[in-house]
Amino acid sequence: MLAMLNRPPSAHDDIDAGYRPGSLWLCDIGAFVALRVTSGLAVWRARHFVPGVLDQLHGPKPLAAYGMTRLSATAAPPCIDVVRPADGAIATIGFTADGALDRAALARFLGEATGRVVRWYDQSGHGLHAIASLAAAPTVALGRAQALVFDGMDTPDRPAGDRFMEIPPGLQVRLNHCSAFACGRAASSQTASVFFQLGARGASDRIVVGGCLPGSTQIAALIGGRLAPSSRFPIQSLRVAGVTTQPDRAHVIHDEDGFTTITPLPATTLTGGFIGGCDLGLSGCVELASVIVLDGPVFGPGDSNHDAIRACQYTALGIVPQTRDVYVADGDSITEGMGATGGDNYPRQMEALLTHPARIYNCGLSGDTLAGRDRNYAHLIAPLFGLRAGRNVLSIFAGTNDLALGASAASLAAHLRSYCARARATGFEVIVATTLPRPDLGPAQQRELHAHNAFLRQEWRSFCDGVADMEADPDLASRAADPAYFADGLHPTSLGYAHIAQIMAAAVNSLVR
């Protein structure tokens, strides 16, 4: 039995309430498994992850299954083959006795380095291991070993391009009678990214799941050449997404909701597939903890197979469905994470720094202006307000592109006041960020930049709830020419984003007490 309630289990959640040994409970503070349940007494134990999702399925059988935890108690293969960048050596990393990735073995092989994963072993028993060339391989590192990172964004060590693994053509899937799920998330809401594809590259009949439209903020699926977007779910908060099909309908499934499209689907057989971004020319960044393909349909919450997949894959990322707070990061390319390696933008790095767990949305859009964020607030940001969240915090870190286009400090102030008024009317607590120094601006533009930052420091209390003073950080303010901190003089590296994350997290934590 699966319970998804906004409280931890107690001794009274016993056999009389319908629970059995092995029952899974998900709530906003973690995952719990029932060890002993008798009438009047239940013993529950916290779990960091829940292996064995394949063992809990009934009906549809797994055709292929890839995971960073063991997906079945009987799964024999290891987890991944990793290439060490320093010398090109390859190591096979398996699982520990309890089903977790063998982090000790990964640490001995990689140390603090980031490795390239060239093989992800199939745990279904069919031997359909996903493989990648070194150039297209996703990455893994000890600090983020719960997921593979498919980073197609331009970074200092890797030019922009698809990062994907190929599922061999031995995978045979019926378009109108299958299910496929992924556990993962995108680095940004504004950069379209693909989670997985079933079928050959460029085929008219295929299934593609991800943010399938450039700039889309919603999970979507391309099913047999027909696009089926989710009605409302933001892709960047994603934990579990997938599709399930039968001849008369296809259903896009994600954590909280879904979208059904009634379309007679042909009995086409899809051959092989891909994990990660490919085929659609998209270059976003996604983290994936698992991908599972089944030979039959699974429909909606309440279906035991759907709930088993949902529960086990949630915990694979160390994240449970309900979180206490919502944090939305809005801005331009610096919020989106241009220049970061492996998706380490500052909202991503803030996860470990917030004093309260939060569902984080990265809504940064490269090249956008503060005027543009103000104009698009209603349809891009306002829908992310969490009605059930304890706190809703929004930060706005934009204005540098306005200044580069000749805007004045006065116009920035007007847009910022307008933006903050809209956000506070929605119910957000709002943090504004000062603008980082920008060496390519002329003298007049530099004066406007400093005037804008001075205005924020002096007047922020009149229109928002906090300020994150990026310009005041000595490392960020003085190291634009240091490649360790800035990739191109404008966009920070992962190290630079770590400084931004600390400053922004301190501002958020000062509100959420």
- CATH annotation of 53-316: 2.60.120.200
What is the band of 57 on the pLDDT scale with cuts at 50, 70, 90? confident
Neighbouring C-beta atoms of residue 360, cutoff 10 Å? 20
Output the pLDDT for position 214.
44
The span from the CA of 139 to the CA of 148, in Å, is 6
- Burial profile 334-354: b = 16 or more Cβ within 10 angstroms, e = fewer: bbbbbbbbbbbbbbbbbeeeb
Specify whether the CB–CB gap between 252 and 236 falls below 8 A: no
- Whether residue 329 contacts residue 335, with contact meaning beta carbons closer than 8 Å, is answered with yes
Domain limits, the chain: 2-47, 53-316, 325-511
- Please tell me the predicted confidence (pLDDT) of residue 459: 96
pLDDT tens digit sequence for 73-109? 877 789 999 999 999 999 999 999 878 899 999 999 9
321-370 pLDDT, tens digit each: 445 688 999 999 999 888 887 778 898 889 889 888 787 888 888 899 99
Q: Does residue 193 surpass a pLDDT of 70?
A: yes
194 has pLDDT over 50: yes
Model's pTM, two decimal places?
0.74
Beta bridge partners of 26: 4, 31
pLDDT in tens, 464-507: 999 999 999 988 888 888 888 998 888 999 899 999 999 999 99
DSSP secondary structure code for residue 111 in this structure: T
**What does each C-alpha distance from 3 to 25, 81, 314, 451, 463 come to in angstroms?**
5, 36, 13, 54, 42
Most confident of 165-179, 206-220, 251-265, 311-325: 165-179
- Do 224 and 265 form a contact (C-beta atoms < 8 A)? yes
Note whether 53-316 and 325-511 share their fold. no
What is the average pLDDT across 221-231? 73
* 3 state SS for 449-472: HHHHHHHHHHHHHHCCCEEECCCC
pLDDT at 310 over 70: no
CATH of domain 325-511: 3.40.50.1110
Percent of the chain with pLDDT over 70: 81
| Dihedral Cα 313, 318, 322, 323, nearest 10 deg | -160
Question: Positive or negative, the Cα torsion across 505, 510, 512, 513?
Answer: positive
